[in-house]
Amino acid sequence: MAKAGPRADRGTASRRALSAEVRAALVNGAIDALRETGFAGASAREIASRAGCSQALVFYHFGSVNDLLLAALDEVSARRMDAYRSALEQADSVSALAESARLIFRQDLDAGHVRVLVEMMTGAHSVPGLGEQVAQRLQPWRDLAYEAVRRTLGRSAAARLLPPAEAAHALVAGFLGLELLASLDGDRAAALAVFGRAGHLARLLDVLAAVRLPAASKEKK
Amino acid sequence: MAKAGPRADRGTASRRALSAEVRAALVNGAIDALRETGFAGASAREIASRAGCSQALVFYHFGSVNDLLLAALDEVSARRMDAYRSALEQADSVSALAESARLIFRQDLDAGHVRVLVEMMTGAHSVPGLGEQVAQRLQPWRDLAYEAVRRTLGRSAAARLLPPAEAAHALVAGFLGLELLASLDGDRAAALAVFGRAGHLARLLDVLAAVRLPAASKEKK
DNA sequence: GTCTATACTTGGATAGAC
DNA sequence: GTCTATCCAAGTATAGAC
Q: What is the CATH number of the domain that holds B79?
A: 1.10.357
Question: Are A134 and B183 spatial neighbours (Cβ–Cβ below 8 Å)?
Answer: no
C1’ C7 / CA A98, Å: 55
In a domain, A205, yes or no: yes
CB A166 within 8 A of CB A197: no
Which of the pair, B24 or A9, is modelled with greater confidence? Answer: B24
For residue B208, the model assigns a pLDDT of 75
Q: Which residues of B touch A190 (CB under 8 A)?
A: 165-166, 169
Give a yes or no: residue B28 inside a domain.
no
Question: SS3 for A155?
Answer: coil
Domain assignment of residue B71, yes or no? yes
Task: Report the percentage of chain A scoring pLDDT > 90.
Answer: 76
Rounded to the nearest integer, the mean pLDDT of chain A is 89
Q: What average pLDDT is seen over chain B?
A: 89
Domain of residue B122: give its range: 66-209
CA distance linking residue A142 with residue A77, whole number of Å: 12
Whole-number Å distance between alpha carbons of A147 and A168: 8
pLDDT in tens, A31-81: 999 999 999 999 999 999 999 999 999 999 999 999 999 999 999 999 999
Q: Cβ-count burial of B146 within 10 angstroms (0-12 exposed, 13-18 middle, 19+ buried)? A: middle
B45 in a domain, yes or no? no
Whether residue A13 has pLDDT greater than 70: no
Q: Which residues lie below 8 Å from residue A106, measured CB to CB, with a gap of 6+?
A: A188, A192, A195
State which amino acid sits at residue A211. V
Q: Is the residue at B159 inside a domain?
A: yes
What pLDDT score does A3 carry?
Answer: 39
What is the number of structural domains in chain B? 1
Kindly list the residues from chain A whose CB atom is less than 8 angstroms away from the CB atom of residue B185.
135
Tens of pLDDT, residues A139-175? 999 999 999 999 998 878 888 889 999 999 999 999 9
> What type of residue is B103?
L
Asked whether the beta carbons of B70 and B119 are under 8 A apart, the reply is: no
What pLDDT is recorded for position B206?
A: 84
| Pairwise CB contact (< 8 Å): A184 & B131 | yes
Which H or E run contains A91? none
Domain membership of residue A102 (yes or no) is yes
Predicted pLDDT of residue A213: 61
Q: Is A126 on the interface with B (CB under 8 A)?
A: yes
- Count of residues making up chain B: 221
Residue B73 forms part of a structural domain? yes
Q: How far is CA A151 from the centre of its chain?
A: 20
For chain B, say whether A175 makes contact (Cβ under 8 Å). yes
Between chains, do A173 and B194 touch, taking CB under 8 Å as contact? Answer: yes
Residues of chain B whose pLDDT is less than 70?
Answer: 1-16, 212-221
Q: What is the pLDDT of residue A153?
A: 87
Query: Domain for residue B191, yes or no?
Result: yes
Give A-chain residues touching B39 at CB under 8 angstroms: 40, 122, 126
Cα–Cα distance, B178 to A206 (Å, whole number): 26
Mean pLDDT, residues A4-32 taken together: 74
Q: Is B212 in a helix, a strand, or coil?
A: strand
Distance CA A56 to C1' C4 in A: 10
